[in-house]
Structure 1
């Protein structure tokens, strides 16, 4: 790391990202994957600075066009074109104060954003962005950086050509999508409008990267909104009613350090009456979804997901400067509890699906999936047990060599019999014995359970064989 600070630091980070379908609701979400709990990224080369200054979206003079043949005369597919981008300021309006107390102004840093796309099939996609929430001129600003929940982030940076040794305190907008419209310009089909409503305010986490200058460290890590409500439909009374769903996210804010040195305590409630600690490594996890019968109606179904995290971290590294350790953890979905409203309009059918994973391995695989489709009917319970083949040298794989499905209140703990077995399938790979796989991992045979013999042992029938023309 160079010891001399740059004269200008351009603080855009994720502000140039465009993802209308809800990616602005969480930061670095990782569902069922290994991830680092603390991370920092930065660009310092001239090319990256030029890319920031030139804008996030290039308005192409040459349209994107493909050709198709399919063993027939070449046919040019209509091009994908982008309309004139919308210029949106990144920086919050108004002057900033220098370390000396005097005021300074600088560029609003407009960046182009996609607002119209014409597709190959003649469709048109229009994107509308939310108006800026923060304004110094209008007096609508966060009270403090560490308690900020508005759509703008604090930025400590050095103004271009600034000679002061300390950075200025500035604010930059977080641009989010308000709606996406899909129009059929060829056949005149009904226009589909998807609106996004963001609830609970934005969570801004302190930047805990050890590579961040202590003078510029602030609460600028975007962790998303608490909820995102999605409405789809055109609102025309002659058409079907608009749909509505609400997703609730975990944002990893428990333990975040505040300006006074204390730590946040954050617990997230759910519709089933439970709560969960909003731990750092859970950032981006979808905790709950709710489905309504229509926009303006009532909830007819919901789902609460509980994460599973391996107890032992995959790796941990201490950071310098008093920053929290970087911890890599393996996580997945442990339990999903779903409710569906019955015809009487008041009672619910409740189902529960629980997954069990391996312990004390680097990459745990799912061993059992226990599906209680209706808690009031334990006889409908189904449990699937998975056994995996080993690769060359005993290497673990994700190739299921046996899939056993049992029914009944005993779940996967039962001894398989003709009475409780729903299905039993065995898979062979690379013409090797059961439970082994070669380097190519080609499935060369499949056996299914035919019956249990007089001794209660399973009898299998070879159902499928496969050969491959190349490895």
Structure 2
């Protein structure tokens, strides 16, 4: 696979220096620090002078690479409609199929259309609204259109959050420096939500009906205090968007199908402006921890747009103890050079999973529910699933799957290779079991080694499997042994 890049400039000759900065519309030329030249930029910056213009794939045929596909990307710098500099916009992607001596087949372009929307709550104070494009239409290779609708701006100069730390509006505060400016100012910036996606078939006479998906947000947005290490402590605001607790989806143009999903937002542990902890409600009896943010807590499916809930599920998340941590210290304030930067919350690494999933269905009587529970346990060292149990909704036989793993090879990091998997009828599901409860069991060996030995580095081929699915007087007996597989 080959990637082709071009310069992000609008001139024929792309000279990268401050004298030609206007030729690089969205590249911060002034932040380029060269050896031997005074540089006043005190923190890292991340940007590129290049843009991706094509992707080519090839396949090895005999002893030579032959072209297979090409995707060509076309970009432009559309005007923003204000005094802010334009940003690179992807206009289209075009796919060309190649087959050796045969004629190339080039499909129509996939075209992206955007609408400028104000990022900043414009107060007519001499600073631009910073219009940026959002995708509002995609025309694909067959001519079908996808239209995207966004929420209107909620905030205005006369309708701003009453307090930043308890903000429930679709805008947030942030400090910034305008192009050519030297002083940071605090402004409010809009948050736009996708409210509708509509797919239309433009084939005359024989096209498919349009499909519509509407998104509703019945709760209010959650904003957490910024913890970025490159933000001056005096400029920290509640601008970390943690989403909505509930999102509602209506699918279809008539007789819409309605569903809702609840999310963990990670608001527990946040601080208010007075330094106290933010009150954070538990979700499914679980603290809404920062590391749970964005995970599904519950979901509901309705009979119709106005009908009752007919299916629902809840998820209980799992996180291991901390496996790694990194202390974080904020920037030193240039106005107080002798005062160390603040100590921020450390960055923590953990394994994650879900311990309990309860799925419920409304029965025919319209009032009774059938509940099916799935439980899981995890290895605390590597986060591997040890057991997964299904209680059969208390109407069928419960199943419990126990997985044992080959000895970990921490040198080559070959960790998650099962050596034996056993299914039992144990309820509750547990790692230890009695032989009479076993339904089936199988074990595997890797790279022609003994069962329980980690695979060889660079190989990891299953070369022998054994399956036992019946009992005799001595307990389990091997009914089928398969040797071979990838390693022979």
Shorter-normalised TM range: 0.7 to 0.9
Aligned pair 1:303/2:313, yes or no?
A: yes
Deviations 1:35-87 (A, max 9, x none): xxxxxx97465859x99943363324xx4223154x89445252332243111
**SS at the partner of 2:248?**
strand
Alignment of 1:3-402 (within 5 A): 43=45, 53-55=85-87, 57-60=89-92, 63-67=93-97, 69=99, 73-74=102-103, 76-95=105-124, 104-136=125-157, 139-162=158-181, 167-186=184-203, 187-235=206-254, 241-269=255-283, 274-319=284-329, 320-359=341-380, 361=381, 363-374=382-393, 376-377=394-395, 380-390=397-407, 396-402=414-420
**SS at the partner of 2:306?**
coil
2-structure distance, mates of 1:336, 1:110:
44
- Displacement, 1:126? 1.3
- Displacement, 1:413? 5.4
Does structure 1 conserve the Cα–Cα contact (< 8 Å) formed by 2:249 and 2:258?
yes
- Displacement, 1:402? 1.4
1-structure distance, mates of 2:312, 2:428:
27
Larger-Rg structure = 2
Instruction: From 413, 435, 444, give the equivalent of 2:452.
Output: 435
Does structure 1 conserve the Cα–Cα contact (< 8 Å) formed by 2:448 and 2:487?
no
- In the alignment, which residue of structure 2 is the partner of 1:406? 424
2-structure distance, mates of 1:464, 1:122:
52
**SS at the partner of 1:207?**
coil
- Displacement, 1:387? 1.1
Which ranges in structure 1 are unaligned for 5 or more consecutive residues?
Answer: 1-11, 13-40, 96-103, 236-240
Q: Aligned in 2, Cα 1:123/1:390: closer, same or farther, shift over 3 Å?
A: farther
Does structure 2 conserve the Cα–Cα contact (< 8 Å) formed by 1:389 and 1:396?
no
Deviations 1:140-186 (A, max 9, x none): 2211211112111111223444465xx32201111221111112233
- In the alignment, which residue of structure 1 is the partner of 2:466? 447
Q: Aligned in 2, Cα 1:213/1:410: closer, same or farther, shift over 3 Å?
A: closer
Q: How many residues align?
A: 400
Deviations 1:260-315 (A, max 9, x none): 1111021144xxxx432111111111111111122222111111111111134432
2-structure distance, mates of 1:456, 1:142:
69
Greater than 6 Å deviation, 4+ residue runs: none
Q: Aligned in 2, Cα 1:194/1:262: closer, same or farther, shift over 3 Å?
A: same
**SS at the partner of 1:127?**
strand
**SS at the partner of 1:178?**
strand
Q: Aligned in 2, Cα 1:56/1:306: closer, same or farther, shift over 3 Å?
A: farther
Normalised TM-score (structure 1): 0.77
- Displacement, 1:123? 2.5
Q: Aligned in 2, Cα 1:390/1:370: closer, same or farther, shift over 3 Å?
A: same
**SS at the partner of 1:66?**
strand
Where relative contact order (Cα < 8 A, 6+ residues apart) is larger, the structure is: 1
Q: Aligned in 2, Cα 1:256/1:412: closer, same or farther, shift over 3 Å?
A: closer
Does structure 2 conserve the Cα–Cα contact (< 8 Å) formed by 1:250 and 1:268?
no
2-structure distance, mates of 1:244, 1:75:
45
Q: Aligned in 2, Cα 1:256/1:392: closer, same or farther, shift over 3 Å?
A: closer
**SS at the partner of 2:291?**
helix
**SS at the partner of 1:467?**
helix
Q: Aligned in 2, Cα 1:455/1:231: closer, same or farther, shift over 3 Å?
A: same
Q: Aligned in 2, Cα 1:216/1:184: closer, same or farther, shift over 3 Å?
A: same
1-structure distance, mates of 2:200, 2:179:
44
Does structure 2 conserve the Cα–Cα contact (< 8 Å) formed by 1:66 and 1:79?
no
2-structure distance, mates of 1:74, 1:416:
66
Q: Aligned in 2, Cα 1:381/1:105: closer, same or farther, shift over 3 Å?
A: same
**Backbone CA RMSD of aligned residues:** 2.8
- In the alignment, which residue of structure 2 is the partner of 1:424? 441
